Amino acid sequence: MIKTFIDKLLGKKDGAAGTRAAAARRRFGKREEVPASVHGIDPQLVDKRAFEVVRTLQEAGYEAYIVGGAVRDLLLGLKPKDFDVATNATPEEVKGLFRRAFIIGKRFRIVHVVYGRGREHDVIEVSTFRAYLDNAAAEQVKGNEKTSKAQLAGMQHAVDASGRVLRDNVWGPQEEDAARRDFSVNAMYYDPQTQVVVDYHKGIQDANARVLRMIGDAAARYREDPVRIIRAVRFAAKLSPLGFELEPKTARPLLASEHLLQDVPQSRLFDEMLKLLQTGHALATIAQLKKLGLERGIYPLLDVVVERAEVPLVHAALADTDRRVAEGKAVAPSFLLACVLWQDVQTGWQRRLDAGEHAFPALQDAIDAVFEQRIGDVSGRGKLAADMREIWVMQPRFDKRSGNTPFSMVAHIRFRAGFDFLRLRADTGEVREGLVEWWQEFSLTDDARRHDLLAQAREEARQQQRKAQPAARRVPKAPVPQAADEGDEQPAAGHDMEAGEAGLEGAAPKKRRRRRRKPAGGAGAAGEGASGAPEA
């Protein structure tokens, strides 16, 4: 009896109840409030818009904190690129507090609070604290008399038999919200007004030790959401320059859990692949995949990227993407994937040309085959495919530097993307540097200089044609009073793209039709080029 009384005083429980309480403590951790004198965050690094969102929510009577990777970066003395806020207010309550706020998402309902307009606008993402859901927790929430009807509706099929979380729009307390996050360094909450960091899972210690540790049992967390496998790789690549490494218990189950990704929708895997490649650490990500034994099997197109990472054009594209992200410039998935799959387009195009197909239809068929084989039916393919197609179709047109083609090219909405692609090809030796320099100047100069550049391109084409002729046929032409044959000025190889056909570099020129010479003074004495316009 005395022991029972003491246990009650100490908060201990017997049997299954005590086991559940102990499990809950391990799962949800212990709340620690760390003051500024200990964590050392510089408040000047906090975005003023994020501060304003937190203050507005707190003044309305809600809890609100900066959360996630922003807190981790602040602890490391870095200026975060993005600031997220977590609160106990529901999305509808958050939306009602701000003039420009929008509820988005289906699987995760969050609020975007927007400041500014146009390209200069900022978005602060606000999420509601969510309950931690595994099978046991789901049953516990359902059995709680205080659980609302809305939450019960959200619990339907929330977790499957294997432990995979299907839906988690169930609101909960802060300690459960922290437990459902993946890594300890991403599960801290910072109040910019009091400058206190709330830490449930020793995230500050892990940040100081440069350890990337999964909260709870790693294998179970990968079963809950297999995409955490990809996130583990992404964060390991992102934080590796700062000395972070995956904790052994976090890294060990990765390879054995890879098969779980087969049940993830392809569109979500495609989006996660783009995050791997477009967050500024593409080359480091590929190194991590190889290090962890995950270079194959996550997603078919990612397998191709890893396999071709050392191909000059692909490596240059990955490095260029990392550079642009570091400089705060925009990156487009269409450009990077166009570089990765250009090899397939060239191979398929050449095979069709060898089979006797016309150049332009052959190119279009080769592109269609690449989309079908490598990309398939994924979210966003429509715009993605259109942008990639335009980049590829432009490449042979860059060889045509005559007529109106150059003018229409520089006016094209995708000219810059196509030109940047051409520049990477030149950097890797696929095309000559002079061609890139010509287009660079043509795109930036005035019309008078453009006509000079066109004349220069025509002269270069004549010289290349003379060099291509057999030595025996290099006979100087004697001046004659008769009209010159049509077609004396041959287009460079591949220049008939605009007429519906695009030849490969080095293709044979068109055959000329011989015409009988007419008596002096007859029709045609003025002389015309192949285009029907007087020769320059």
Q: How far apart are CA 274 and CA 265, in angstroms?
A: 15
Give me the catalytic one of 47, 73, 84, 206.
84
The order of strands in the sheet holding 84-87 is 32-34, 196-199, 188-191, 64-67, 84-87, 122-128, 110-115, 101-104
Give me the catalytic one of 82, 217, 365, 427.
82
In the three-class reduction of DSSP (H, G, I as helix; E, B as strand; rest coil), residue 342 is classed as helix
Number of C-beta neighbours around residue 474 at 10 A: 9
Q: Which amino acid is at 128?
A: T
134 is known as an active-site residue: no
- The Cα-based distances of 175 to 140, 197, 427, 454 in angstroms read 16, 13, 52, 69
Handedness of CA 406, 408, 412, 418 (dihedral sign): negative
Specify which residues 124 forms β-bridges with: 113
Q: 3-class secondary structure for 154-171? A: HHCCCECCCCCECCCCCE
In the three-class reduction of DSSP (H, G, I as helix; E, B as strand; rest coil), residue 50 is classed as helix
Give me the catalytic one of 47, 177, 182, 206.
182
377 is known as an active-site residue: no
Q: How far apart are CA 490 and CA 488, in angstroms?
A: 6
Nearest alpha carbon to residue 47 among 90, 16, 81 = 81
Residues 6+ apart with CB under 8 A from 249: 213, 214, 218
Contact 310, 319 (CB under 8 A): no
| Token pair in block for residue 282 | 């593409």
Q: How far apart are CA 61 and CA 33, in angstroms?
A: 20
Give me the active site residues, please: 82, 84, 182
